[in-house]
Amino acid sequence: MSRISRTAGAVLGVIALAGGLAACGGESLENGGTGGVDKDGGGKGSLVVGSAGFTESKVLAELYAQLLSEAGYSTSIKTVENRELYEPALEKGEIDVVPEYAATLAEFLNAKANGPKAPEKNPVASSDVAATFKALEKLAEPRGLKPLPAGEAVDQNAFAVSKEYAGKNNLKTLSDLGKSKLKVKIAAGDECEIRPFCAPGLKKEYGIDVIGVDPKGVGTPQAKQAVKDGADQLVLTTTTDATLEGFGLVLLEDDKKLQNADNVLPVVNAKDAGAPEIADALGKLTKVLTTGDLVELNRKIDTDRVKPADAAKEYLEAKGLVKK
């Protein structure tokens, strides 16, 4: 499953967050072993970085591992099938650090703590990243987890139109689309019809005249092609989708902040990887990484076929975060 499907599923209220991500690359948890800073292991010790099976998670894990290596730790990466597996592994210390998304993880832990319907009935995440982070900290602490500060980079649900359609109707924001009074059909998953962050939210918050949902999936090539061809007007995708340019599509700004704050952040096992120097090393990336950077990293890996480790190395060197 792609990162697009993971985000949409989470934000649209699917509780099986990240379910079905294909494990590939790196070590798997089945190989055994535990994480934690091993003080007998030379240098500052060893750390295990977790990665889910989609492109963005892989490159973020590489960025984390290389930064921690630069800081003197011995690092390895374990690719784990989905959040239902890697989050407990993080609690147990089998994994020491994992790249995460603030709102998605907050609601995942909300469901674990308060029942599967809690994210829908009593959500803790919102478009306010500071409030969402605070809620995440509160839910994470009893589980021995420590989220580190979130940065500017965000991977959340987003809506795109064709460049031609945007230009013809002078559209830059979702508010513009609402004011245009154009009739809109959305290419998305069928759940878009009922989920508050999709069709109902677009109608309520923006006044967009949604006349239907074309169930071609979230951010799939078929969904994007339908918008490119003019069969549909809007496609549900994510802010770090690296394929929009190829379909001649552009994102419309979520100017009223309908979507939750899925800002990227590291989450560590507080006991094994809660040291200030680990937070400092990872914080260097958080301070510079942008949404645009993630788009470009995803593009290099998915389109140019650059290996995640090589894309991460090139990025960190360009930013002066590791030595060439």
- CATH number of the domain that 239 lies in? 3.40.190.120
Same domain for 123 and 27: yes
Give the residue from 203, 219, 252 where a domain finishes. Answer: 252
What tokens does 279 get?
A: 């937070």
Beta-sheet pairing, 209-215 with 183-188: parallel
In a domain, 324, yes or no: no
pTM to 2 decimal places: 0.85
How many C-beta atoms lie closer than 10 Å to residue 38's C-beta? 16
Same domain for 161 and 147: no
In a domain, 323, yes or no: no
Same domain for 248 and 176: yes
Characterise 72 by phi-psi region: left (phi > 0), alpha (psi -120 to 50), beta (else). Answer: left
CATH number of the CATH domain containing 111: 3.40.190.10
Same domain for 122 and 62: yes
Per-residue pLDDT of the chain (324 residues; tens, 9 = 90+): 344 444 444 444 333 333 332 323 334 343 333 344 543 444 689 999 999 989 999 999 999 999 999 999 999 999 997 899 999 999 999 999 999 999 999 999 999 999 999 998 999 999 999 999 999 999 999 999 999 999 999 999 999 999 999 999 999 999 999 999 999 999 999 999 998 999 999 999 999 999 999 999 999 999 999 999 999 999 999 999 999 999 999 999 999 999 999 999 999 999 999 999 999 999 999 999 999 999 999 999 999 999 999 999 999 999 999 998
Give the residue from 252, 274, 300 where a domain finishes. Answer: 252
Same domain for 135 and 168: no
Same domain for 137 and 75: yes
CB half-sphere exposure, 169, CA atoms < 13 A: 22
Give the residue from 214, 231, 252 where a domain finishes. Answer: 252
Same domain for 206 and 95: no
State which residues form the domain around 223.
157-252
Same domain for 49 and 144: yes
Same domain for 120 and 14: yes
* Residues contacting 304, CB < 8 A, separation 6+: none
Same domain for 134 and 280: yes
Same domain for 193 and 100: no
Domain count for the chain: 2
Same domain for 187 and 314: no
